Amino acid sequence: MAPPVLVVGAGPVGMAAALALRARGLPVTVLEADRKGRERPGSRALFVHRETLQLLDGMRPGLAAEITAYGRTWHTKRTLYRGREVYARTFPPPEDGPGAGFSAARTPFTSLRQVDTERFLLAACDSAGVRFEWDARVGDVRVSANTVEVTTEDGRSWTASHVVAADGARSAVRRALDIPMEGTRSSGFHVVVDVADIPGSELPLERVFHYEHPRTDGRSVMRVPFTGGFQLDLQCRDDDDPEEYGTDEAVRGWLPGVVGDGYADRVLWVSTYHFLRKVAGAFTDPGRRVLLVGEAAHLFPPFGARGMNSGIADAAAAAAAVAANSPAAVEEFAVARREAALFNSAAAGTALAHLRPERRIVRAKQRVAATLSSVLPWCGAWLEHAPYGPRHGSAASAGRKY
């Protein structure tokens, strides 16, 4: 019997890789460092984009429809500058209405908490025959001519034809192979808050980005709906104290000024994050037996929802390369997906320079664009689109938007 393919990490990217491998008829075992049934707080990745839904549907037919039926798709996006609206656009909903399931023609994305996305993926993996090994924290990885041996910290060992490493930013697999992460960490931080809806008094189903919100002392903030609530992302300044903005108590202080009263006791999760723009120096080992995907391979600021979506594109490409069972296919995967990662990193950097400008001229341009937006609509459109960075470029050569 052929050795299984090992996937390290049971996050959304790891489970997507397992599904993609099973769709190609390969036996798969997933090693996860945490215990079974672990609680995964917070939304983290919210958006599952059309391209990602198409990939998931190819891995497990019907999965995209399940996720879409549960998630929310908003059709209005709105941008404000210092309390004044500078851009708004509403797209018509699909003719067959909400809850009709997934189709590429009518579903640009869906929005749900990552814990829910993982719940759907785990159920799909179970039904697809994916085997899970929980409490399996990787300690060592040894590559030979035809196999890879993975040993956990508690001494258990597995032998595989290939390993797909989806074990996150602190990837034990990447460290064991001595593959460096290359890039930068920016100053400043964001506060991310998940808030539950008030039943019967839900906020409008729209994404709102607010430059220099007057009720947060000029800090920018974004609100994004998801099923059952919404996420707020507060952009803090370089010299802000996380204790003043990023604790549960602090959030309850500034939250009413952004969304109104009644939400202080509806907070589900609070976290802070720093901007990391890093890409692995290589996406595979010299023997072409280990493939890095997701945050094991790249770390981006969240602009444009590039993290999980690009990771699932990595997972699909990795599964195709493993199924081809040739070093050339793995090398092609590594080159193409690293090129996509470098594009995404550069695009996130462009967005970061707009959101946290180091040059006064950038802030001046934003101020002028906001002033002129009522007579020159393209100025408002520029303010709307700039925080997400470019969407098209080198990633297209890897066959995907991300």
pLDDT at position 185 is 80
pTM (global) more than 0.85: yes
pLDDT at position 44 is 72
pLDDT at position 320 is 97
pLDDT at position 395 is 45
Low-confidence stretches of the chain (pLDDT < 50) are 394-399
pLDDT at position 394 is 47
Kindly give, in sequence order, each residue whose CB lies less than 8 Å from that of residue 313, ignoring residues fewer than 6 positions away. Answer: 51, 52, 55, 337, 340, 398, 400, 402
pLDDT at position 349 is 81
Task: Give me 2's structure tokens.
Answer: 């052929």
pLDDT at position 348 is 82
Q: What is the pLDDT of residues 99-157, one digit of tens each?
A: 555 665 677 889 999 999 999 999 999 999 999 999 999 999 999 989 999 999 999 99
pLDDT at position 59 is 96
Could you give all domains of the chain from N- to C-terminal order, each with its CATH number? Answer: 5-73+94-184+276-349 (3.50.50.60), 190-273 (3.30.70)
Distance CA 155, CA 139 (A): 8
Distances (CA, A) of 211 to 86, 204, 279, 380: 10, 19, 29, 12
pLDDT at position 396 is 42
Q: What is the pLDDT of residues 265-283, one digit of tens each?
A: 999 999 888 878 899 999 9
Whether 141 contacts 157, CB under 8 Å: no
- In the chain, the largest separation of any two C-alpha atoms, in whole Å, equals 70
Whether 228 contacts 221, CB under 8 Å: no
